[in-house]
Each structure stands twice: as structure tokens, then as C-alpha cells.
Chain A
Amino acid sequence: MSDLRTHLQEQGNQLQNATKKTIVDVGSIILAPGYDPFDPSSQTQYGYKRFSNVVTSLEFERMISASGPSGGELLRPSDGKVPRRIAWIQCVGSRDEQSNCTYCSAVCCMYATKQVILSKEHHPEIEAVILHNDIRAYGKGFERFYERAKAMPGVRYVWSKASILEQRPETGNVALRYRINGSVVKDEQFDLVVLSIGLSPTADNRELAQKLSIELNQHGFCENPAFSPMETSRKGVFACGVFHAPMDIPDTVTMASGAASLASQLLSAQRGTMVEEKVYPEERDIRGEPPRVGIFVCDCGTNIARVVDVPEVVEYARGLPGLVHSVEETFACSVDSVSHMVETIKNERLNRIVVAACTPRTHEPVFQNALCEAGLNPYLFEFANIREQCSLVHMTDKETATEKAKDLLRIAAARAVLLEPLYRISYKVVRSALVIGGGIAGMKAALSLSVQGVEVHLIEKNDALGGLARKIPETLEGEDIKGFIERLIQQVTENDLIHVVTNAELRSIAEDVEISSW
């Protein structure tokens, strides 16, 4: 454990040493300071820091991470053995009067469930017990995920509050006491106990709020107007992420986009006035060159390398037609690896690049950018998705996964040899938006676009705007929903840039684009 804590401490120090003072002139501020993981050392019933085999969920996250101190091997702190029985204690620092954190931290039920599934993937024989205070699987796809974990052999979800008795010196096992069915007290031993810690406001929130003259709520999260979660009590200062309240990554992304949109409305007059275009080196003319293929095979930490025999795949690549360079990368998408790729393309005068890694949906632009940096046309690039299509779907069959990775790589390399440079064409975009649906979401989107100077057509199937929310009189806090919707409707109908069509039914959508080349 000390290794892990030192590792986290070092990472933290590296970040802190990078502090420097700069003065910037801005028209809007977005606050995204995040959160502090709840520190359970003050809660003596959990024995955190007294017992080495009691870890927080964030420490556990590092323990099973491919880039963590044990390289993705799940080993318990006291003796480096693989834990066979693991307990998760939920709501540590959430929904708890004693620690003064009476709010739900929103993410713990699902991250614990994810950790159970990950542990089972590492070692299928692991027994997992989740001692919880209700499972809140409220988000998109969460219930299915929870049901999947619950159905795994050796996984038990128990509705209970637990406390830790001791860590047995002779075995290193942790003795837990918990209550089942409200009355029966049970003692049970585990190899490892994970505390599912909540999300606390950062220690600096108060100071930040004071400096900016914005209000926080009683817990120390940001206070906001009821119907505008990204606004703060001060105009021009916006908030997003866990600074607002505990939330998961997708919700953080949604909120950040919303905050950016509000800031953008405020600054729309200045848009485009400070743009600096990224300049790439001049593109190398590869006409007449024989194919010089470079293949980069990614371990994805251990996500790919645990199942696919990467060195074997790299070796196999050496025999492919046109191959000049093939190499294994721990994380091909890391900044270091990408800049190394740029150098390799230049030095080896590569003219076709194949990356065997994860999904092109998220990572193709990263590698195409590397090609541009190296003076190659970005379309001289092929992707073999050996993570999703090999190491994930053939997780239990290393041989098949490795053979399939070779096949996918051979196909990608054969295609790469035939690639020709492509050039982008530009479309004339009609600068107006069609918003389908005239409820709160549609109206807010229409208003945001119009403030940024975009013409909007808002179509609604009913005879009036407002949607289902018209049927709900007030919020939990007693805020007047009806009044809010009426104000929105008024703003929308009075706005010259928004054209509302009610009783509208979408009949067809036709493409009619004018294409011009540049």
C-alpha cells in the first residue's frame, strides 16, 4: 500500500510543481474545480490507514489499472497476494449524518459495480460482496449493468451497513461485522475491503467562491438558480461538473457543454476574432514512391496485451508486403508515443501508416493528426481495431484473439498499400437550425442558438409549446414550473430569429447541399 500511496503522492507533486502565475483578460469564467475524494480516516469504524487491506475505491481503481503500480495485476497491499474474497462498503462519506455528507454521491453504486465486474474479469473465481444502502442504478444503461453484475456467480449485493473489526495479523484478512434483514448480526472475513468513498467539495471551494463572490450551498457545492444549473449567483460566471454536485463523467460532459454554450452566448460578438489556425508542415508528395508501411501495435496498457500476444503480432507484421517499420507501443495514443510516431514517419520516410489499437471512432483523429505533423496526407492511414474485435470479444481465448489480430492487421496493411492521398471538400452550410420538439429542451436550445445569431425553426407536433412539463405544477423546492415555461414561451415567440411551427409533423428530409472544392 505504501507503494501505491507514494505513487499517488508523486503524481500529485508533479502536478503541483507546475504552478505559475499568469494574468488573462476574459469575458466569462467557467468553474470546473472538480472534487476531493472523501477521506475516510476520520471514520474510525472503517479502520482506514490502520489496516493495510482496507483501501478506498480510488486506490482500488489504481490497483486494477494497467498503468497502476502493479501493472494491472490485482494484488492486495499487505502481502501482494491476489485477493479471492473482496467486500465493497458503500456510502462511505455519502448519505451519512455522521460525516456531515448527507447527499448521495451519485457515482459510487455504479463504480463499485464496475469494479466488481473488472475484478471478475481479472480473476473469475473472486467472490464479491457489496454492502450497500440501496443501489441507485438510475442512469442510462445502469440497470442492465447492475443486473449483469448481480447475475455473476459469487457476487452478492447485501443491503446493510458494515463496520470493520480488525485485520488478522496472521492472515492479513479483514473481519467485517454487518447486519442483515435489519436484526441478524453477521461477522465475515475478507481478503480485501474497498471503501466506496463519496465525492466531497474541494477544500478550496470556499476560497474560490469568496474570491469570485459566488454562493455555495450548505455542503460547499455551487448554488445555482433552479432552472439554470450552469449559472452561478454571479452573471458571467458559470459552473459545471462536480463543483455543481456529484455526478458521473457523461453528466459532467453534458454540463460542461452547457456551460460552454452559455459562455459562448455571452461572447458571441467576439467569436472568431482571435482564431489562430494550426499550421502543419507542407504535405510530402508521395507520388512515385513505393509503399513504405509503418505498423504500430498497441498494448493499451494490458487491455490488449493481456489477451493478444502483441510481440507475436509485431513479429508477424514484419512479413507483410511493403513493411519498413513495426513496433509495439504500451499506449500508442499517449503524447510521447504520438510524437515518437511523427519522428519515425519522418526518419524512415514512411508513406502508409497502420495502427492496431482500439476504435477509430475515438482515436483515428489522434493518429491522423500525427500524419499531418509528419507531413503526410492524413488519409494514408488504416486502423485495425484489435481491442474491441480481439481482446474484448475473445477475452477468454488468447490464441483466437491473437490469430484474429494478425488477420485484421494483414487486411489493414493490404488496404494501406493501396491508399491514395485524399483532400477535404467544403460544404456551404445553411446557417440555420431545425429544432424538433417544443418542450423545455427544444426551447432552451432554440434560445441559445438565437442568442448566438443562428436562425432557428422550431417545430412542435402539438398546438402549443411547453411539452409535458406543463402538467407539472412545481419542483420539489416549490419553484414554479408553469411560470418558467410561460417565460420561455414568451421569449421564444418574441424572438425574431426563432420561427415556431405548431401542429407540425415532419414529413421528409431531403439532402440539398451545394458542394464546392477548396
Chain B
Amino acid sequence: MVKTKPAGTLKEISHGVILVATGAEELKPWAAYLYGEDDRVKTLLELDELHCN
């Protein structure tokens, strides 16, 4: 029984097994390499996003 909370409502889910596939987050190197201070300093994913658009 799991309670989830989309948009403030609680929902119960009955299940027999759990798979965790929560992945990762990109590290944002705040306070290093001028990241966040100069627009020309990007992370790899931010650069890929530029390519996407």
C-alpha cells in the first residue's frame, strides 16, 4: 500500500513488488568554474539542450 500525492490528493496503490528506477540528477557545479556567474559556462546536459532547441 503506497500513498502518492499528485496535486494535493492522496492515492493508495496496492502492489506486490517495487522497482526503483529513480535515475540520477545532474551535478550543478555552483561556485566553481564560473558556473552560474557567466552564461558561457554550461553543463553537458545544458549544452545538449541547446542542441535540442
Specify whether A and B are partners: yes
Binding site for B on A (CB under 8 A): 429-437, 439, 441-442, 445, 457, 459, 467-468, 471-473, 482, 501-512
In the complex, the chain A residue whose C-beta lies closest to that of B5 is: A505
Whether B6 pairs with A502 at a CB distance below 8 angstroms is yes
Whether B21 pairs with A509 at a CB distance below 8 angstroms is no
**Residues of chain B lying within 8 A (CB to CB) of residue A429:** 16-17
Contact with A along B17-34 (1 / 0, CB 8 A): 111111111100000000
What are 13 A-B contacts with C-beta separation under 8 Å?
Answer: A434-B19, A436-B21, A436-B22, A457-B15, A459-B13, A468-B26, A471-B45, A472-B45, A482-B52, A504-B11, A506-B2, A509-B2, A509-B18
**Residues of chain A lying within 8 A (CB to CB) of residue B15:** 430, 432-434, 457
The 5 closest A-B pairs by CB, nearest first: A442-B21, A437-B21, A430-B16, A507-B3, A441-B21
A373 to B4 CA separation, bound complex (whole angstroms) = 47
**With known contacts A432-B16, A435-B19, A442-B19, A468–B2 Cβ distance under 8 A:** no
Whether A430 pairs with B14 at a CB distance below 8 angstroms is yes
A511 to B6 CA separation, bound complex (whole angstroms) = 22
**B17 → chain A, closest Cβ, in Å?**
5
A132 to B45 CA separation, bound complex (whole angstroms) = 31
**B1 → chain A, closest Cβ, in Å?**
4
Whether A436 pairs with B23 at a CB distance below 8 angstroms is no
Whether A434 pairs with B52 at a CB distance below 8 angstroms is no
Whether B51 is near chain A, meaning CB under 8 Å from some CB there, is: yes
**A432 → chain B, closest Cβ, in Å?**
5
**Residues of chain B lying within 8 A (CB to CB) of residue A502:** 6
Whether A507 pairs with B16 at a CB distance below 8 angstroms is no
Whether A507 pairs with B1 at a CB distance below 8 angstroms is no
Whether B19 pairs with A503 at a CB distance below 8 angstroms is no
Whether A445 pairs with B45 at a CB distance below 8 angstroms is no
Q: A468-B24, A501-B4 are in contact. List 6 more A-B contacts (CB 8 A).
A: A431-B16, A435-B18, A437-B22, A468-B26, A471-B48, A473-B52
Binding site for A on B (CB under 8 A): 1-7, 10-11, 13-26, 45, 48-49, 51-52
A457 to B26 CA separation, bound complex (whole angstroms) = 26
**With known contacts A431-B16, A433-B15, A457-B15, A439–B5 Cβ distance under 8 A:** no
**Residues of chain B lying within 8 A (CB to CB) of residue A430:** 14-16
**A460 → chain B, closest Cβ, in Å?**
10
In the complex, the chain A residue whose C-beta lies closest to that of B23 is: A439
**B10 → chain A, closest Cβ, in Å?**
7
Whether A434 pairs with B48 at a CB distance below 8 angstroms is no
Whether B21 pairs with A435 at a CB distance below 8 angstroms is yes
In the complex, the chain B residue whose C-beta lies closest to that of A469 is: B23
**With known contacts A459-B4, A504-B4, A507-B5, A433–B19 Cβ distance under 8 A:** yes
**B16 → chain A, closest Cβ, in Å?**
4
**A458 → chain B, closest Cβ, in Å?**
9
In the complex, the chain A residue whose C-beta lies closest to that of B48 is: A472
Whether A508 pairs with B48 at a CB distance below 8 angstroms is no
A436 to B22 CA separation, bound complex (whole angstroms) = 6
In the complex, the chain A residue whose C-beta lies closest to that of B26 is: A468
A507 to B3 CA separation, bound complex (whole angstroms) = 5
Whether A510 pairs with B1 at a CB distance below 8 angstroms is yes
In the complex, the chain B residue whose C-beta lies closest to that of A482 is: B52
**With known contacts A459-B4, A468-B23, A504-B5, A434–B51 Cβ distance under 8 A:** no
**Residues of chain A lying within 8 A (CB to CB) of residue B51:** 473
A288 to B22 CA separation, bound complex (whole angstroms) = 54
Whether B6 pairs with A501 at a CB distance below 8 angstroms is yes
In the complex, the chain B residue whose C-beta lies closest to that of A507 is: B3
A467 to B22 CA separation, bound complex (whole angstroms) = 9
**Residues of chain A lying within 8 A (CB to CB) of residue B17:** 429, 433-434
A439 to B19 CA separation, bound complex (whole angstroms) = 12
In the complex, the chain A residue whose C-beta lies closest to that of B14 is: A430
A505 to B13 CA separation, bound complex (whole angstroms) = 12
**A501 → chain B, closest Cβ, in Å?**
6
**B43 → chain A, closest Cβ, in Å?**
10
**With known contacts A471-B49, A503-B6, A507-B3, A436–B20 Cβ distance under 8 A:** yes
Whether B19 pairs with A507 at a CB distance below 8 angstroms is no
